[in-house]
Amino acid sequence: MTHAFVKMNGLGNDFVVVTPEGTSFAPSAAEVRAIADRARGIGCDQLIGLGPSHGADAAIRIWNADGGEVERCGNAERCVAWLLMQASGRDRVSIEAGGRILSARRAGDGAVSVDMGAPGLNWRDIPLAWEMDTREIDLHDGPDLRDAGCVSMGNPHVVFFVPNLLAVPVAEVGPAVEHHWLFPERVNVGFAQIVARDRIRLRVWERGAGLTKACGTGACAALVAAHRKGLTDRAATLELDGGELKIEWRKSDDHVLMTGPTAVEFTGRLPAFEPGGRSEGGRRVRPA
C-alpha cells in the first residue's frame, strides 16, 4: 500500500506530509531516512504523518531526517493547519501534537497563526541533567558561548545570545551542543542576535535535522528566552534564513503565538518499500 503525500515548507523548513489511506503510517527509521534523503529520496527536514484524533481535527506524528521521532515542529504544525483549513473550508482548526491540542487560524494569504501553548521553563521541562536556573545556562566544558537560556516548547531548546550571528560557526558548534551531556534528550540549538526590542535574528541547529532555513519552535523559544533576560518585549519579529515569523508571548494566558507563511511545493505518492531498497509506484526511494 502506498500513501499520498504533500511536499510543503514554512520559510524553507520543508516537510513531506503523509495522509494515510486506510492504514496507519508507521515508517521505520530507515524508511524515514530514505524519504528525507535529498539525493535519492523526496528530501525534507521532517516527515509528518497525519492521522485521526479524539480531541482535535487531526493528530500528527513527526520524524526528523535522521529517522528519530520527535514531539513538536512549529512550522510543520502551521503547514498541516493550512491543509486542514483548505480541506474543510474553515478558518480555524485544531491539531494534536506532542500531547498538546493546538488551535490554529488563517492569518492572510497562505499565512497561519498557531497557539503554541505555554512554554516550559523549569529545568525538568527541558529536561536538563540537573537542577539549575533555565534563564542562565553555562555549559562549562562546552563551546565558548556563555549567554544562554533554555525553554521547552514541548521539545527542548537552548538559545545562545551572540553579538554577531555571522561570526558564529553554527554548523560546528550546533552538533557539539546538541549532544552535550547536560541535555539527556539532546537539544535544539538556537543562536540569536538582538537587533531591537522587537526584532531578533536567529539561526537554529535542529536536533536530528541539522541547520535548517527556519525553526518555528526555535523562534518561539528565542523570544521567550530573550524576554526572560529583559532583552526584548513580549512580541517580536524573528528573522530566520528562510524569512520572518511573528512571535508573541501573551501575558494574559502565558501562551506563545506563532504566525507565518506556508507553501505547497508538489504532491505525489510514496513508494512501497521492499527488502533491499526496491520500491513500487512513484519515485524510487532506497532505505539508507
Q: What CATH number does residue 9 fall under? A: 3.10.310.10
246 shares its domain with 267 = no
109 shares its domain with 91 = yes
140 pLDDT higher than 80: no
From CA 117, how far away is CA 224, in angstroms rounded? 12
41 shares its domain with 84 = yes
- Identify the residue with better confidence: 63 or 273: 63
pLDDT at position 281 is: 35
For 272, the domain range is: 4-116+263-280
107 shares its domain with 166 = no
Q: What is the β-pairing status of strands 111-115 and 92-97? A: unpaired
22 shares its domain with 82 = yes
Residue with cell 523570544: 223
From CA 12, how far away is CA 261, in angstroms rounded? 10
119 pLDDT higher than 50: yes
From CA 117, how far away is CA 127, in angstroms rounded? 18
177 shares its domain with 249 = yes
pLDDT tier, 142 (very low <50, low <70, confident <90, very high otherwise)? low
Segment 176-212, tens digit of pLDDT: 999 999 999 999 999 999 999 999 999 999 999 999 9
Judge whether 167 lies within some domain: yes
22 shares its domain with 85 = yes
Judge whether 246 lies within some domain: yes
161 shares its domain with 249 = yes
Judge whether 134 lies within some domain: no
From CA 257, how far away is CA 104, in angstroms rounded? 9
116: closest CA among 17, 217, 260? 217
- Quote the pTM value: 0.90
Judge whether 135 lies within some domain: no
Judge whether 156 lies within some domain: yes
User: What's the structural domain count of the chain?
Assistant: 2
Judge whether 124 lies within some domain: no
CB 249 within 8 A of CB 224: yes
Backbone angles phi, psi at 277, to 5 degrees: 95, 5
Residues carrying an active site annotation: 73, 215
Segment 227-250, tens digit of pLDDT: 999 999 999 999 999 999 999 999
Question: Position 136: which residue type?
Answer: E
pLDDT tier, 3 (very low <50, low <70, confident <90, very high otherwise)? confident
92 shares its domain with 51 = yes
Segment 22-59, tens digit of pLDDT: 667 889 999 999 999 999 999 999 999 999 999 999 99
Which region among 135-149, 178-192, 201-215, 248-262 has the lowest average model confidence (pLDDT)? Answer: 135-149
225 shares its domain with 201 = yes
Judge whether 97 lies within some domain: yes
216 shares its domain with 236 = yes
Judge whether 71 lies within some domain: yes
Q: How many CA atoms lie within 13 A of 263 on its CB side?
A: 10
Q: What is the mean pLDDT of residues 127-136?
A: 95
CB 206 within 8 A of CB 71: no
21 shares its domain with 82 = yes
pLDDT tier, 99 (very low <50, low <70, confident <90, very high otherwise)? confident
The 3 state secondary structure assigned to the chain is CCCEEEEEEECCEEEEEEECCCCCCCCCHHHHHHHHCCCCCCCCCEEEEEECCCCCCEEEEEEECCCCEECCCHHHHHHHHHHHHHHHCCCEEEEEECCEEEEEEECCCCEEEEECCCCECCCCCCCCCCCCCCCCECCCCCCCCCCEEEEECCCEEEEEECCCHHHCCHHHHHHHHHCCCCCCCCCEEEEEEEEECCEEEEEEEECCCEECCCCHHHHHHHHHHHHHCCCCCCEEEEEECCEEEEEEECCCCCCEEEEEECEEEEEEECCEECHHHCEECCCCCCCC
Percent of the chain scored above 70 by pLDDT?
91
